[in-house]
Structure 1
Amino acid sequence: MSGEVSLRMDAPPEKVWALVSDVTRIGEFSPETFEARWSRGSTGPEVGAYFKGHVKRNGVGPTYWTPCQVTACVPGEVFEFRVGTEEVPINNWGYRIEPDGDGSLVTEYFRLEPKPYLRFYWLVLGALRGRTNERGMRTTLERMKEVVEA
């Protein structure tokens, strides 16, 4: 009930982290989340900060807003957030950044919450959704790479 994609970028970890932790820019990169904004008084990346993402599943169909909360935030290393509410968490998304010579190895990942209803969802649609998520993560990282290497 998880997956990840890694891509090397010719940029230092601090520069990559500044980009992945700026949720207001996700619309430039993600094929599904076309905008996001800080919410509930949050103004930037820190553990506990809230934001909401405006999503169009698989890039088609109706749009909806998802509540998110930052769960891990270490400059230059990791940025992770939970999607859903505290009462009903759905999944977690994040970025790990590792130094790689004069650049960075950047890994985007997701992990579904270990809830019974999500186990059933993954059993039925997991292979399809996993491939879609993998394509989306690869697209997101490739678009980010173009920006941090420019």
Structure 2
Amino acid sequence: MSTPTARGEIDIDAPAEDVYRVVSDLPAMAVAAEEFVGGSWLRGAEEAAPGARFRGRNRRGWRRWSTLATVTDAEPGRRFAFEVTSLGLPVARWQYDLEPRGDGCRLTESTWDKRKSWFSRLTVVATGVSDRASVNTENIARTLSRVKVAVETR
């Protein structure tokens, strides 16, 4: 796979399985993530599993938009990843990798922008973001910090 367009990592004092439960849980990530404010599993899915789909609700300031995501990887304690589309077009891949380290783990969040250039220009109107890579890098740092606090204070 190519180099991510945005990436961040953080060490967390908790087992990788505990961190996985947070990053693969839609309500928990709605609290931790910067733009993702909620989601709903679709077609009878109730949790992360390869092929499961969810509708994601996102917000940045007064702007709101939704996306459709399909889970590609759901390996407890190791990896959670999904592909995002909007209007039937590819948008991004998001991936959370967990690496056990002593009594804790390292969580790496990565994203790959998959939008065609013409679609990128259109999404600026919906999201208010022209430099998606820089904004995602900042958002990832905030999200990782919130996941760390959520898991370590349980």
* TM-score (norm: length of structure 1): 0.86
1:145 is the counterpart of 2:131: no
Task: State the secondary structure of the residue aligned to 2:82.
Answer: strand
1:113 is the counterpart of 2:114: yes
Kindly report the root-mean-square deviation, in angstroms, between the aligned alpha carbons of the 2 structures. Answer: 2.2
1:112–1:118 contact (8 Å) kept in structure 2: no
In structure 2, the CA distance between the partners of 1:86 and 1:98, relative to structure 1 (3 Å rule), is farther
1:30–1:140 contact (8 Å) kept in structure 2: yes
List per-residue Cα deviations over 1:30-88 (Å, max 9, x = no partner). Answer: 121111121122111100001111111xx213212211110111111000011116952
Percentage of matched positions with identical amino acids: 30
Amino acid at match of 2:65: Y
* TM-score (norm: length of structure 2): 0.84
Q: State the 1:115 CA deviation.
A: 4.1
Q: State the 1:101 CA deviation.
A: 1.4
Unaligned 5+ runs, structure 2: 123-128
List per-residue Cα deviations over 1:121-142 (Å, max 9, x = no partner). Answer: 8xxxx98321210111111110
Unaligned 5+ runs, structure 1: none
In structure 2, the CA distance between the partners of 1:9 and 1:109, relative to structure 1 (3 Å rule), is same
Residue 48 of structure 2: which of 40, 45, 48 is its match? 45
Match of 1:8 in 2: 11
Match of 2:131 in 1: 128
Task: State the secondary structure of the residue aligned to 1:43.
Answer: coil
